[in-house]
Structure 1
Amino acid sequence: MGAAAAAATRPLAPRPLSPGDLADHEALRHLVTLYGHAIDRRDYALLRALYHDDAVDDHTPYYCGSAAGYVDWLPGMMAQWRATQHVMLSQLFVLDGNRAEGEIAARAWHLTADGTRQFVAWGRYADHYHRRDGVWRFARRAFILDFAEDLAVGAGSDFGSAGVAVGAAGVADPIHRLLAGFAR
């Protein structure tokens, strides 16, 4: 088998995607984006709905166990952060019927409760997804840390932003007022 033929048999090799593949990829992108939104808005009910009941979440060394336990553990951990922003960057998926895997590059920014430090984790999620009853959810999610930054918050200008809506964790965030579809 030539190099081109061997590459074509690998799941991540370039190949045409069927309309069904495209729909599945988009559903998975939506799922991983919802995860960041749920974490940052402290919407734990939404976060819980993203996992299957038997799912596992691995944020070792902080937490590793059932996804339900992760969601229960998270409010206490998030209390130390005034604001967070989880951004899902590149997203690669391998589909296999009603199962899929994904490598999701991510940046997770955290501002301490007192506003003096920011912690930025650069890493990747190694995801296993299952589609049950036509809906994709996390079956297992593990975080891989590639690099972390711990930075002092410098004093500076607000660049003329007086009056701009300021983000907040939870239901106080302006997104719930500005976009009716995002209201809880």
Structure 2
Amino acid sequence: MGLRPPVLAELADMAALQRLVTAYSRAIDRRDFALLESLYHPDATDSHGQMFVGGVAGYLDFVRVALSRYEMTVHYVVNTLFDLQGDRAEGEIHKINYHRTHGPQAIETTTGSRSLDHYSRRNGEWRFQSRSVVIDWAETRPANPAAWDDFAAQSPRGQAGAQDASYSLLPLLRRFGP
């Protein structure tokens, strides 16, 4: 028994939504604000609790300032649950997020969060219509820079921005960034 065309269309939509939420992590962690903006419809909204609630332009300004406090961030998409209804969809996206401040006295904060998303498809393209973040847990500790050298076997360190190794080693992914 083969897959019916509606099933294939739903699978394609689910893959597009998965790619959207994963591209969000790339945009944030690489500080690629053009990519970040492209993931939202122009009339979309974002809510990060009491820190920010508003439209896309304001959210981009908020993110630029917020991320400037960190030497490195890493946002992992762990579980995704989507529900589709035509050109609209909803998603609950579970994430683990790592943030490390600048300097020799750096602090590491790791959180478990969920993004509660509304998506809409316009002109055949899925984008965020609204995104709300819920924090489920958080942990903070002093950073241990020596652990990088001891554990990572001198691997290149990830970097915010276009200097990250992913831009030079994965040229096909350049369409997701500079």
Counterpart for residue 159 of structure 1: 150
Q: Residues 99-145 of structure 1: CA distance to partner in whole angstroms, max 9, x if unpaired? A: 00000000111011125210111010000000000000000000000
The reply to whether residue 74 of structure 1 matches residue 63 of structure 2 is yes
| Counterpart pick for 2:102 among 104, 113, 117 | 113
| RMSD, aligned CA | 1.6
Could you tell me which runs of 5 or more consecutive residues in structure 2 were left unpaired when the two chains were aligned.
1-5
Counterpart for residue 173 of structure 2: 182
- Answer whether contact 1:79 1:113 (CA < 8 A) is retained: no
Could you tell me which runs of 5 or more consecutive residues in structure 1 were left unpaired when the two chains were aligned.
1-16
- Answer whether contact 2:118 2:131 (CA < 8 A) is retained: yes
CA distance in 2, matches of 1:26, 1:71: 25
**Aligned sequence identity (%):** 39
Relative contact order (C-alpha < 8 Å, sep 6+): which is higher? 2
Counterpart for residue 128 of structure 2: 138
The reply to whether residue 45 of structure 1 matches residue 31 of structure 2 is no
* Deviation (angstroms), 1:62: 1.1
* Deviation (angstroms), 1:58: 0.3
**How many pairs align?**
168
Counterpart for residue 10 of structure 2: 21
Change (3 A) 1:160 1:128: closer
The reply to whether residue 31 of structure 1 matches residue 20 of structure 2 is yes
The structure that has the greater radius of gyration is 1
Opposite residue 98 of structure 1, the aligned amino acid is D
- Answer whether contact 2:88 2:121 (CA < 8 A) is retained: yes
